Chains A and B, each alone.
Chain A
Amino acid sequence: EDQVTQSPEALRLQEGESSSLNCSYTVSGLRGLFWYRQDPGKGPEFLFTLYSAGEEKEKERLKATLTKKESFLHITAPKPEDSATYLCAVHPTGHNTDKLIFGTGTRLQVFP
């Protein structure tokens, strides 16, 4: 069964303290892996798409990487405004799989 697991569930960082969020996945084949940011009570906001192992994408303080079994979202020198829940999703290959499978997210809090 296709599955996405994110860790940790919650992360508290001091402003400027860099860290990484993990997304591990179990799928028969991977068409793409996606990162989203979600603020409380709002819709997820698209961040990155990664398609193949070794690929990296960057946006401001965020950098996403992909291996054959997992993806990392690295946050460099975070600021309080980076506080949000970060969701990972995969688009698996196979029959009737034009859909994303989401992990339950990592809730990030950055304190000044």
Chain B
Amino acid sequence: DSGVTQTPKHLITATGQRVTLRCSPRSGDLSVYWYQQSLDQGLQFLIQYYNGEERAKGNILERFSAQQFPDLHSELNLSSLELGDSALYFCASSETGYPYEQYFGPGTRLTVT
């Protein structure tokens, strides 16, 4: 158990819908990272927040957004969902703003039908 929690574990929704994925980092970790993992593309970095502020951005679509709240939990919002958004979404956390020794949560499996 990494200490990072993610909810929900599974999510099935229809195209065009909007969903919110939630992540709670390990106690004491200030950074949260979001990743998408699909079979054909591997693990892709989406976005990082450090102590409430956006710090780094990867291949995140405009339909996706994220935020980190004062209690340091984070939410990833996915809207206007397409079939291709079906994937595993992982959250990771680290103590500092640098992506060293990231600890990953169990993931949310999103299926868009």
Contact = CB atoms under 8 A, between A and B. Distances in A.
Contact of B4 (A43, A87, A96, A98): A43
A105 B57 CA distance: 22
A45 interface: yes
Nearest to A48: B101
B90 A43 contact: yes
Contacts of B25: none
Given A44-B43, A49-B101, A99 B106 contact: no
A59 interface: no
Contacts of B57: 96
B18 interface: no
A99 B43 contact: no
A61 B56 CA distance: 35
Contacts of A42: 106-107
Contacts of A103: 42
B94 to A, nearest CB: 10
B60 to A, nearest CB: 11
Interface in B24-63: 33, 42-45, 48, 55-58
Contact of B99 (A43, A98, A104, A105): A98
A101 interface: yes
A45 B58 contact: no
Contacts of A46: 101-104
Given A41-B107, A42-B106, A44-B43, 15 more contacts: A32-B100, A34-B100, A43-B2, A43-B92, A43-B106, A44-B92, A46-B103, A49-B101, A87-B43, A89-B43, A98-B48, A98-B97, A98-B98, A99-B58, A99-B99
